[in-house]
Structure 1
């Protein structure tokens, strides 16, 4: 079943204000300044309402330095391992490498390319809201960044994952169209089983998808594109052909490199098999094993 929610630190609101609850293993858990920073950024996201200007974060030099380090490392990895479709549209998106871009900047760059725009998220967004918003070409994004002590590691999705991973992918109209089909499918689904099946297929395609190009396996999934560790290891995984029933019901561990990945023979096959499934998906099209 889909377990990405476990990657997010819970956010609560009480008499003591907004609090982000980091796990005991989180690199920033014993850093009071980092924890206060996370609380403040989450509070801005919770205060956002549609139609308002997106909250802008006054990122520190230390936070920008984390972005610079990771951006440089991932740029080199992408040149070697990323799919051609990703590389072509990353070049068009032109994300800054010397500083963390604001969400309104990312939206301004994305909209002419694919129509997608970003809105802020404090942390976990419920599956139905998160995936359902794709039909309106909206992507819910966190704005915090990982702890400076471990710039090449994060236990949870941060701005690097949301922007370098997802925006780099969403800049492609072909990938963006698949996202939009996901959103349209959510509007048709009534059962939790079907919603989780959809989320699992998304995980093994748009998050951890790979494609064969000119005899090499390259990645297009946002989870691979944004992870320094994963992108260097994915070719060691067992590669299987696209299989919707398997992808929707696979059991996996989010805390380790993925040992099994589903490989498309081309982006066109991804569009036909995965995009086609989302386009036609209903509760009745989910295999009985998922219920």
Structure 2
């Protein structure tokens, strides 16, 4: 029997992104959860507000994506995570991701600027990055995906725990998703998810697409021959999750299950859905994103409810 859930925004449940407040005096405050490793670090809180403020003040469409002058400590976090993830990628990442990672050739010794990531991606797949202070409304985020644009945070996780982050930072957004988007095949699936949002009218259908996206582009695995490999950005940017995914419950791709399964975004995902190959992923998930309607999403949801 499958556990199902009510419609919930996966980008806000569990405060995946920390709320941001801009005060009347122009200062910006980021509200970290009590369990966040930087919660009591006043300098980290100040820095998070500073970086969020850069994104909030950006005049999109009129100005280039703003740069952030990263500190040596921030560069060191990037270096540490890049060094630790590299051998794990060789062991666990799908060959499609590895080939894309080699083509994109992100720096490993310093935090790249988002405009630099765009400059590398554009000739490969046509994608570009823009900055966001944190949460982007669900439909805005997906609409941008449909236009080959990825909204990314610019802050880094707390230096006390460089191999852990309770929220998507630039390491997740760029090492996870950026390398994905350097693959024409994975980029096309991502774009199709965004394009789907532009024709969907109901919140239920939009959420269904977001949940299938979660279990594919964020936490997807696929077989390479007999070997189970990861291609999901959430797995491949997580030092811990990348070492645990193969021991999780692995199910076959099932759109109804993927779109309704109950999950906790604050913990390792105990259930993953495996494509038999990248072509299978394109056919099932890519085909779903390319054709989904309000009616077909509702039918899949109703079928899942009946089966439970």
TM-score band, normalised by the shorter chain? over 0.9
Match of 1:169? 180
Match of 2:207? 196
Find the aligned partners of 1:38 and 1:256 in 2 and give their Cα distance: 23
Deviation at 1:104, TM superposition (A): 0.5
Say whether 1:30 aligns with 2:50.
no
Deviating above 3 A after TM superposition, structure 1's stretches of 4 or more consecutive aligned residues are 287-291
Match of 1:234? 245
What is the aligned counterpart of 2:76 among 45, 65, 79? 65
Q: Is the 8 A contact 2:28 2:49 kept in 1?
A: yes
Q: Secondary structure at the match of 1:80?
A: helix
**Normalised TM-score (structure 2):** 0.92
Q: Is the 8 A contact 1:144 1:158 kept in 2?
A: yes
Find the aligned partners of 1:256 and 1:118 in 2 and give their Cα distance: 27
What is the aligned counterpart of 2:146 among 125, 129, 135? 135
Q: Secondary structure at the match of 1:228?
A: coil
Q: Is the 8 A contact 2:172 2:237 kept in 1?
A: yes
Deviation at 1:3, TM superposition (A): 2.5
Say whether 1:75 aligns with 2:49.
no
Q: Is the 8 A contact 2:20 2:31 kept in 1?
A: yes
Deviates more, 1:270-279 or 1:178-187: 178-187
Q: Is the 8 A contact 1:67 1:97 kept in 2?
A: yes
Flag structure 1 segments of 5+ consecutive residues without an equivalent. Answer: none
Alignment of 1:243-282 (within 5 A): 243-282=254-293
Flag structure 2 segments of 5+ consecutive residues without an equivalent. Answer: 1-7, 303-308
Alignment of 1:180-191 (within 5 A): 180-191=191-202
**Normalised TM-score (structure 1):** 0.98
Q: Secondary structure at the match of 1:262?
A: strand
Find the aligned partners of 1:35 and 1:289 in 2 and give their Cα distance: 43
What is the aligned counterpart of 1:13 among 17, 22, 37? 22
Find the aligned partners of 2:272 and 2:297 in 1 and give their Cα distance: 21
Q: Is the 8 A contact 1:245 1:287 kept in 2?
A: no
Match of 2:217? 206
Match of 2:65? 54
Length, aligned pairs only: 291
Q: Secondary structure at the match of 2:155?
A: coil
Q: Secondary structure at the match of 1:147?
A: coil
Find the aligned partners of 1:3 and 1:176 in 2 and give their Cα distance: 21
Deviation at 1:244, TM superposition (A): 0.5
Q: Over aligned residues, Cα RMSD in angstroms?
A: 1.1
Find the aligned partners of 2:17 and 2:195 in 1 and give their Cα distance: 25
